[in-house]
Chains A and B, each alone.
Chain A
C-alpha cells in the first residue's frame, strides 16, 4: 500500500529524547519531507504565526505535547485559534502525551481542532495510521 508522504510536519515537545525518537521513527517509515521542532507552545505559536504571515505553507501535521513549560499544549490550542490568519483549517493536530489522566482525555473532546490523542511512546504504526487517515 502506497501512502502519500507528508510535506512538512511539526513536533511541539520539550523532551529531547522524545523528539529524537519521533524523528527517528519518521525517517524509518518515510513519514515526511521536513520536520520543524518547537520546544514549547510559545515558541510554536511565534514560529507558526511567522510562517503563516509570510504566506508560506503551514505544517500539514502537528504533534503537540500537553505538559510543557512557558505555554502548555492546551494554551497553545487556545492561542493558535486566535491568530487572525492561522491557515490551520487543513492541518491535522494530534495530541501526543504520556498523560493517562481521564480529565485530559475528556478535555480532548472539547477541542474540535484535535484529530486524535496518541499515548506516548509513539510507534511506527501510530504514524502509519496518521498517514492513512490523511489519505482517506
Chain B
C-alpha cells in the first residue's frame, strides 16, 4: 500500500481500511501519496478483503492507479475554462464564438455594444447579415480556407452594420477551433472596433483637403494681388518718369490727369481686394436668420430708379416664410450684384425680364435668379465665370469683380452658386443656402 502524504489523507485511508476489514465494504478511495523521491501523486485505490473459511479477514487484494496526470489536466482545463470565460466577458475588445455557417454562438458585452444589439438579438442573426456587402467576399474566402484546413487563424479589416444602420469599422482576428476528427467546430473572433479612429481619420483627411484648397486659393489670391497692384504701380512709375522729362505744359497736364486715374485705380483695387478678404474670413460667426423676400424688396427699393429706367418689374415668387442662414450684408450684396448685372447686360433687342423664385429642398433653399439678357457663353467662359477680374462683355463698366465676390460670399456661408446660360438668351443663377 502506498503511503499517504498527509495526516488528513492518512485518516481517510485508515478509516476506509477499517471499514473494509470490519464490515467488508470494498475499499475505493482517492488520496494523495508520497513517492520515495518526495513527489506527490494522486492515486485511486480499489480493494476487497479476503476471508478465510472461519470468516477472518486474511488479506486485502486490490490495486492503485496513478491518476496524477489526469488530475493535473483537469485542473488546467478548469483554470483555462475559467480564464477564457473571464477574458471573453470582460475583454476590452469584442469577442464572439461563431459557427462554421456564420451563426453567432456567443458574443460578449463589448461586441454587443459595438454592433448595437443585445446578445439575444445577435444570436438569431448571422455574421453575413451584419457584414457590409463589399466585405462579404474577403470574409467568405477566409472562412473557406479555414474550413479546408489551410488556415488556423486570420486577421482582416472589415465593416459591419450597426443596428442603427451606421457602419462599424473593425479589425477582426479569428482563431479556428477544430473537432477531434479535424472538422471545423467553431471559430473565436476578436473584434476591435476602430470606427472612431476611421471617423477621425476621415475628418483629418477632409481637414487637410480644406487646408489645401485654402492654401491654393490664398496663392491664387496672392498672385492676383501682386498682378493687380503691379499693373497700377508700373503705370505710375512710367507716368512719373514722363512727367519728369516733359516740358510742354499741356502734355504735363495730360500726364497728371493719367496719374490721378492710375492712383484712383490703385485705391479701387485695394478696396476690392479688401472686400474679397472680408468675404473669405469670419463669415460663420456672423450668420443669422435672414428673410429672403424682405431682403429682395429692400434691394429693389434701392435700385428703383435703375429698374424704372429699363422699365422692368421683377417677378418675385418667394414665400414670405423663406428664411436662410447667412450674413445679412452678404445676402444683400449677392442679390444686389445679380440685379445690377441683369440690368447692365440686358439685351438691346427685347424688354428685360427678371424672375426670382425660391424653393425649399431638404435643409436648403434654392433661389433662382433668371434674366433674358445677353447671357454668357459658358462653353468658352464656363470655368472663368466666377473668376476674379474676368469680364465677358465689351462693357466699360465691367470690373470682373462682382461675380467673384458673389461666389466667395456664397461659399463662405456654406452655400453654392451655379449658372445656366446661353448667349443672347439670358442667364439663370441658382444660389443654394442653408434654411434657417
Contacts and interface: CB of A to CB of B under 8 A. Distances in A.
Interface of A: 15, 17-18, 20-21, 24, 40, 67, 69-70, 97-101, 103, 120-122
Contacts, number: 55
Given A20-B258, A69-B394, A98 B400 contact: no
Interface residues of A, dominant DSSP: loop
A51 B54 CA distance: 152
B285 to A, nearest CB: 32
A61 to B, nearest CB: 19
A124 to B, nearest CB: 10
Interface stretch (B28-36, B232-240, B289-297, B419-427): B232-240
B392 A70 contact: yes
B230 interface: yes
B234 A98 contact: yes
B338 interface: no
Contact of B227 (A69, A100, A121, A122): A100
B235 A121 contact: yes
Contacts of A121: 234-235, 237-238
B238 A70 contact: no
A121 B237 CA distance: 8
A48 to B, nearest CB: 18
B13 to A, nearest CB: 100
Interface residues of B, number: 22
Interface of B: 223, 226-227, 230-231, 234-235, 237-239, 242, 258, 261-262, 389-394, 398, 400
Given A98-B230, A99-B223, A100-B226, A17 B239 contact: yes
Nearest to A120: B234
Given A21-B239, A21-B242, A121-B238, A98 B391 contact: no
B262 A100 contact: no
B227 A70 contact: no
B392 A15 contact: no
B171 to A, nearest CB: 44
Contact of A69 (B238, B258, B392): B392
Which among A24, A69, A97, A100 has the greatest number of chain B C-beta atoms within 10 A?
A69
A133 B308 CA distance: 59
B230 A17 contact: no
6 tightest Cβ-Cβ pairs between the two chains A and B = A69-B391, A121-B234, A98-B230, A98-B231, A101-B223, A121-B238
A60 B373 CA distance: 40
19 contacts: A15-B231, A17-B262, A18-B235, A21-B235, A21-B239, A69-B390, A69-B392, A69-B393, A69-B394, A70-B391, A70-B393, A99-B227, A100-B226, A100-B230, A101-B227, A120-B230, A120-B231, A121-B235, A122-B238
